[in-house]
Structure 1
Amino acid sequence: MGVSGVGKSTIGSLLSKKLGIPFFDGDDYHPESNILKMSKGEPLNDKDRLDWLRTLNRLAVNQLKTNSCIIVCSALKEKYREILAYSIESKSKWVFLNGSFEHILERIKNRKGHFMPAHLLKSQFETLEIPKNAIEININQTPNNIVEIIKNEIISKSQFGLFGLGVMGKSLCRNLASKNFRISMFNRHVESKEVDVAVNFKNEFEELSTALAFDDIEFFVNSLQTPRKIMLMVNAGKTIDLVIEDILPFLSAEDILIDGGNSNYNKTKERFDYLKSKNIHFIGTGVSGGEQGALKGPSIMPGGDKEVYEKVKPFFEAIAAKGENNLPCCSYIGPEGSGHFVKMVHNGIEYVEMQLLAEVYTLLKALGNNPDQMADILESWKETNSYLLEITIDILRKKEGDDWLIHKIMDKAGNKGTGNWTTITTAQLGVPSTMIASALFSRYTSFYKDERTAASINFEAKDNSKPNITNTDILKAYQFARIMNHYQGFKLIIEASNSYKWELNLSELSRIWTNGCIIRSDLMVNLVEVFKSTDNLLTSDIIIQQLKSLKPSIKKVVSQGVLNELPIPNLSESINFLNCFTTANSSANLIQAQRDYFGAHTYQRIDDKSNKFYHTNWI
């Protein structure tokens, strides 16, 4: 691309012969009306160009079905280039031939038989919008030199880089390579510990045969097309900052770094601002789905500048899981750290979903079921299917020898911090996500194994009778608690969106969580439609009716759990929260009176609509 007279046709023709792929001159596809207009000395307008650009786009799309091609076209505006590359963005690469007005004008004056007169060159320079993402080459070189530069830049360089070959990094590499992207992979070299990790990984899988493998950062960065797109798949926290400092010296302006780990959204904002000062773009991206999800299709939650996201969008959408209508489970979330924020809340919701299934396990066990019988019961719960329910069934069926494996697993649940961050954030924003906090503290409680064992002796249950509940009661209680969990999680997201002015779309967020991620479920599919009309689940008629019909069962199950001394904190919290939230006149008036008594914190009166604050001398 470039203005008329830069030598596009000459360079394109030479490059075509060098690469052995077809060459097409965009000028040959102009309709007669355009040629006639230009030959009269009249510049083309956007309407004149539209059908011409669409024709060239169809040409490119058809060529890519069997091979590749080179098309030369002025493509002076960004919107022209968007039309030309429509639906094939990830397979397109722009080469911008640039030169001075005087140099190009001299060329045009000397060429013969072309329909465009020299005086139109000025209008072309005025129209030109210099592309940000193109190989830019000055035409003050021989055509053969220019062709070599282009060949070396496009053919030998990768489109996308992965930094860090842990479990998720390896799966994403294989996913990208299987979608025919040329990738570069990096893993550090640690003598006698991590040696030739990238090379050995490349040799292990056929789909990585064209991938480039490195353990040297400079070589890795230089192997990528510019502007570079590098996804960091390393541990969250200080490691990310160390990697950024290691890689920065080798980056160029407009390069894009993507943090695909579970980073804290506040740190993502700091890194975004820091890298912006270095003229480097940063995208904080939540990736959910675990090892298999990353390999076969995860749910992807990118946050940052929208125009920067557009440059990595083709890669993300290609590797993402596909939902209804084959739409990718990937969508631009919002600015700054919003991508990592929603991934953090996703994990908070996940904590609760896992805890609820653990409590269902507790109840079914109390009814005398063995793991196989529990799996049969859960398998019959078709109306509440989810990924976590599916894997719980598999876990319960797994045997080791004559016993079930679940009986041999230590009851100490770990965590990697996202549940902790979610709980801190919900407190900072003043949002009552009580079930997430309860699930987190249940994990903390589980870790005190020795103390729990001792306490179980001192507080041994006197009544060992079975709870007076049915499998159906448990199912309905579980369904009730799941709705309350999703209410609280999405409430936290929308309150953060309002606080930070992110303008998050809950329906779209639900959509990308319908497949590929850990919390995918039939309930999430239903929420896509519910959130099209409200951001508050407790105002939805559908949800209200569901909760009303399920409420008797949750009350019965929680009551029986308490009476039989069964630990079901999240099931209990789900009904306790709704009872609190649906109480118009709560006991908080007493708390505010206490605060005024000992601290003169004042209070408002229900019989004064002016919102005036009062203080009483209580003694």
Structure 2
Amino acid sequence: MEPNLDIGVVGLGVMGRSLALNMLDHGFEVGGSDLSADLVRLYSDGGGERARGFATTEEMVTALKRPRRVLIMVPAGRPVDAVLSDLSGYLQAGDIVIDGGNSNYHDTQRRIVEASERGVLFVGAGVSGGEDGARHGPSIMPGGSEAAWPHVAPALQAIAAKGPDGDPCCDWLGGGGCGHAVKTVHNGIEYAFMQAISESYALLKAGSGMDGGALAKTFESWNAGAMRSYLLEITAAIFGVAGTSGPLVDEVLDEAQQKGTGKWTAEMSLDLGVPCPTLAEAVFARGVSSRRELRGSIAERHASGGVGVDTPVAEPEDVRQALFATVVLAFAQGLDLIGSASEAHGWNVKLERVAKLWRAGCIIRIAFLDRISEAMLSAGSKHLLLDPWFAEHVAAAAPGLRRTVAASAMHGVGCPVMASALAYYDTIRATRLPHNLLQAQRDAFGAHTYRRLDGSGVFHTDWLGDGATTTIG
């Protein structure tokens, strides 16, 4: 039989199956394979006569038109390498592999090189939107072997979500592992956005005792204008679901799980020396939540967290401003990290393009992403806070953020992400930081040297002896 499939999907779990069905809906002939016969059957049954399931990868690859295009949708790490090892016996020079999972971008960099040695083109494509997005229109962030793009663009752009202007939320980002790096940072921003909303919930509940209905109305009212977003939309909906004696969410165990992309964002930040404290603090907050037994034991000895003030925990309008400022600062940190990674690795990622890909389909979609795209495109806007609109609106929201963080501290309501956002805002705009003392300390105990404000050279001072200074260079 003449090969007639446009693309094959390896891994027919929730995301892989949803993407395959999405491509079928858009007129592409799609094969699917999985280690689970039940998942292959589920795909075949769900896609109708045109959905072709295969018991083995070899059978599916044989049915693909040249250049063969294979989309891998399996868990990150060793499972991806196992699939690639299996495929290596069947693919030829010019064929294309797309890794659509949440892979570490360092692994993607390695796999591009390994694939190129066999003449195979490799694309690392971050996919955001969850099951519904994958089925009806996700945000897709591809990068890697650019020669593959003309061959995979028709399918990927067809199934992607469409922005307000009708453009697909899928476009080529650059070389190397940039696609997965951008998706990793997307998830880091997602962690911070979700944590900031959760801190808002804690403050509103502690301050006014809002019930589920009031909380739903509050978050619904906030989901407007520049803050209109998917995460605020689902938050309002969550508070509208009734449990046994209030909103069902109050009966959910307060332990947040994680799969690793938030941690990778923090590691990426540290590796590149780009400060992203708000993104990192969101990861730590999930870690604290997972230590529920320890929290309970410590609470028995430290029951009172506040200082006995009579003022409200936080005014709702202050909390709204704090949420807005925190989310903007999370985006600012994430984009700074992507830009720095692109420069370090030579990816040539355009930040305005990244922002456009996030406008629809993905979890962090928010109304001000169009403004972010414009800000990143404008000359000189290397950081989001340099843009006039964001500078003005963050400055306007900063007093609410300050009052909210102060109130949370006075009342003992932990808000680590909001507090870190405020600290970042105050330090990133400071013309003078106390790190002159810190560097002097380093020189005192380790002879690490220092530079002077006048830029005259590099020096070492005998701080603990006679105070003599030596010019090093």
Does TM, normalized by the shorter one, top 0.5? Answer: yes
Letter of the 2:39 partner, please give it: V
CA contact (8 A) 1:196 1:215 kept: no
1:437 aligns with 2:289: no
1:374 aligns with 2:221: no
- 2:431 is matched with which residue: 560, 584, 588? 584
Residues 318, 562 of structure 1: alpha-carbon distance in 2 compared, 3 angstrom cutoff: same
SS at match of 1:374: helix
CA contact (8 A) 2:13 2:39 kept: no
CA contact (8 A) 1:371 1:404 kept: yes
- 1:524 is matched with which residue: 369, 374, 381? 369
**CA displacement, residues 174-233 of structure 1 (integer Å, 9 cap, x when unaligned):** 100001111111011xxxxx3343134312x2x432121111121111011111100000
CA contact (8 A) 2:10 2:32 kept: yes
Bigger radius of gyration: 1
Partner of 1:24: none
Distance of 2:302 and 2:111 partners within structure 1: 50
1:423 aligns with 2:253: no
Q: Which moved more, 1:511-520 or 1:406-415?
A: 406-415
Q: CA deviation at 1:334?
A: 0.5
Q: CA deviation at 1:464?
A: 8.2
CA contact (8 A) 1:510 1:524 kept: yes
CA contact (8 A) 1:580 1:586 kept: yes
SS at match of 1:400: coil
1:273 aligns with 2:118: no
Question: Which runs of no fewer than 5 residues in structure 2 stay unpaired?
Answer: 466-473
The root-mean-square deviation of aligned C-alpha atoms, in Å, is 1.3
**CA displacement, residues 324-379 of structure 1 (integer Å, 9 cap, x when unaligned):** 22110001010010000000000000000000001000011112111221110111
SS at match of 1:234: coil
Letter of the 1:484 partner, please give it: L
Partner of 1:143: none
Distance of 1:352 and 1:477 partners within structure 2: 13
Residues 307, 468 of structure 1: alpha-carbon distance in 2 compared, 3 angstrom cutoff: same
**CA displacement, residues 141-190 of structure 1 (integer Å, 9 cap, x when unaligned):** xxxxxxxxxxx43xx521111110111001001100001111111011xx
CA contact (8 A) 2:29 2:50 kept: yes
Q: CA deviation at 1:257?
A: 0.7
1:175 aligns with 2:22: yes
Partner of 1:409: 252
1:202 aligns with 2:44: yes
Partner of 1:507: 352
SS at match of 1:180: coil
CA contact (8 A) 1:507 1:531 kept: yes
SS at match of 1:324: coil
- 1:572 is matched with which residue: 406, 415, 419? 419
Superposed, 1:482-561 pairs within 5 Å as: 482-533=327-378, 534-561=381-408
Query: TM-score scaled by structure 1?
Result: 0.72
**CA displacement, residues 505-529 of structure 1 (integer Å, 9 cap, x when unaligned):** 1111101100000000012222122
Distance of 2:242 and 2:149 partners within structure 1: 46
Distance of 1:315 and 1:396 partners within structure 2: 37
SS at match of 1:442: helix
**CA displacement, residues 468-499 of structure 1 (integer Å, 9 cap, x when unaligned):** 53211111111111111111110101111111
**CA displacement, residues 67-109 of structure 1 (integer Å, 9 cap, x when unaligned):** xxxxxxxxxxxxxxxxxxxxxxxxxxxxxxxxxxxxxxxxxxx
CA contact (8 A) 1:174 1:208 kept: no
**CA displacement, residues 428-455 of structure 1 (integer Å, 9 cap, x when unaligned):** 1000001011000000111110010111
Distance of 1:196 and 1:355 partners within structure 2: 37
1:160 aligns with 2:21: no
Superposed, 1:51-66 pairs within 5 Å as: none
Distance of 2:48 and 2:175 partners within structure 1: 33
Letter of the 2:327 partner, please give it: R
Q: CA deviation at 1:307?
A: 2.2
Query: TM-score scaled by structure 2?
Result: 0.94
Distance of 2:136 and 2:331 partners within structure 1: 26
CA contact (8 A) 1:412 1:449 kept: yes
Partner of 1:232: 72
Distance of 1:398 and 1:195 partners within structure 2: 36
CA contact (8 A) 2:243 2:249 kept: no
1:315 aligns with 2:155: yes
Q: CA deviation at 1:402?
A: 4.1
Q: Which moved more, 1:177-186 or 1:462-471?
A: 462-471
Partner of 2:440: 593
CA contact (8 A) 1:506 1:535 kept: no
Superposed, 1:16-31 pairs within 5 Å as: none
Letter of the 1:187 partner, please give it: D
Distance of 2:37 and 2:349 partners within structure 1: 43
**CA displacement, residues 294-333 of structure 1 (integer Å, 9 cap, x when unaligned):** 0000000111122211110000010000002211000101
Letter of the 1:313 partner, please give it: A
Letter of the 2:177 partner, please give it: G
